[in-house]
Structure 1
Amino acid sequence: MSRTSHALAALAALALTLTGCTSTADDKTLPADLPAAQTLLADGAKAMAEVKSAHFVIDVNGKISGLTLKRAEGDLTQAGSAQGTASIEQFGTAIEAQFVIVGTDLWLKAATGGFQKLPLAAAATVYDPSAILDPNRGVAKLLTSIKTATTKAKETVDGKETYKIQVEPDPVVLAALIPGVGAGVTGDIWLDATSKQLVKGVFTIPAKGSDPAGTVTVTFTKYNDPVTISAP
Structure 2
Amino acid sequence: MRRLSAALTVAGAAAVLVAGCSPTPSHSVLSSSAASTSPATVSSTAVAAPTSSSPTSTSPTSSKKSSEPLPDAAAILKESGSATAELDSVHLTMSVTGNIENLPITALDGGVTQVPDSAAKGYAKIAYRGAPAYVEFVMFGGDLYVSQSPRRWVDYGPADNFYDAAKILSPDTGLADLLTDFVDPEVSGRETIDGEQTVRVTGEVSAAAAKKIVPQLKASKRTLCTVWIQETGAHQLVQLELASGADDAVQMTFSNWNQPVIVGKPRV
Shorter-chain-normalised TM-score: which range?
0.7 to 0.9
Of residues 41, 46, 49, the one that matches 2:85 is 49
1:124 CA displacement: 3.5
Query: Kindly tell me: are residues 70 and 101 of structure 1, through their superposed partners in 2, closer, same or farther at Cα, counting changes over 3 Å?
Result: closer
TM-score by length of 2: 0.65
The 2-side partners of 1:97 and 1:154 are apart by 35
Runs of 4+ in 1 over 6 A off after TM superposition: none
1:220 aligns with 2:237: no
Of residues 147, 169, 173, the one that matches 2:205 is 169
1:198 aligns with 2:232: no
More off after superposition, 156-165 vs 222-231: 222-231
Of residues 80, 93, 96, the one that matches 2:134 is 96
Q: Which residue of 1 aligns with 2:171?
A: 135
Residue identity (%): 29
1:61 aligns with 2:97: yes
The 1-side partners of 2:183 and 2:162 are apart by 24
The 1-side partners of 2:80 and 2:210 are apart by 17
Q: Does the 8 Å contact 2:173/2:212 carry over to 1? A: no
Q: Secondary structure at the match of 1:180?
A: coil
The 2-side partners of 1:111 and 1:185 are apart by 39
Of residues 120, 125, 139, the one that matches 1:87 is 125
1:225 CA displacement: 1.1
Structure 1: gaps of 5 or more residues: 1-30, 208-212
Deviations 1:124-150 (A, max 9, x none): 366554431121221111111122311
Q: What is the RMSD of the two structures over their aligned residues, measured on CA atoms? A: 2.3
TM-score by length of 1: 0.75
The 1-side partners of 2:100 and 2:139 are apart by 25
Q: Does the 8 Å contact 2:142/2:159 carry over to 1? A: no
1:157 aligns with 2:196: no
The 1-side partners of 2:140 and 2:121 are apart by 9
Q: Secondary structure at the match of 1:228?
A: coil
Q: Secondary structure at the match of 1:216?
A: strand
The 2-side partners of 1:91 and 1:170 are apart by 34
Q: Does the 8 Å contact 2:103/2:163 carry over to 1? A: no
1:180 aligns with 2:182: no
Q: Does the 8 Å contact 2:137/2:147 carry over to 1? A: yes
Query: Kindly tell me: are residues 112 and 164 of structure 1, through their superposed partners in 2, closer, same or farther at Cα, counting changes over 3 Å?
Result: same
Matched AA of 1:201:
L
The 2-side partners of 1:226 and 1:111 are apart by 26
Query: Kindly tell me: are residues 101 and 66 of structure 1, through their superposed partners in 2, closer, same or farther at Cα, counting changes over 3 Å?
Result: closer
The 2-side partners of 1:190 and 1:100 are apart by 27
Q: Secondary structure at the match of 1:124?
A: helix
Q: Secondary structure at the match of 1:110?
A: strand
Q: Which residue of 2 aligns with 1:114?
A: 152
Q: Which residue of 2 aligns with 1:17?
A: none
Structure 2: gaps of 5 or more residues: 1-66
